[in-house]
Copies of this chain bind each other. A is one copy, B any other.
């Protein structure tokens, strides 16, 4: 069964463009991973500072490999600098 991830970020209002610029490389490299089905950055319609990564991975092992990848370990800490608060990460399995 595939794994879905919702990683929700509240970005500082004056850092939205920088956050998106820095995300570009993370998205591109993550999409190249063997177990990656989906990896995209999404902006909330009414709250432009809410920038969420929606992900789908082949299985839990693929997600673990992603979290250990060089691109994730390099870029994720840099992205954290632009946040109002810590990223809220939920990892899901499908029920219905």
Contact = CB atoms under 8 A, between A and B. Distances in A.
B4 A92 contact: no
A31 to B, nearest CB: 10
Interface in A80-96: 90-96
Interface of A: 3-4, 6, 8, 20, 23-24, 27, 40-47, 50-52, 54, 90-96
Given A44-B90, A90-B44, A91-B46, A52 B96 contact: no
Nearest to A31: B96
Residue of A24, A43, A95, A96 with most chain B CB atoms under a 10 A cut-off? A96
Contact of A20 (B24, B43, B95): B95
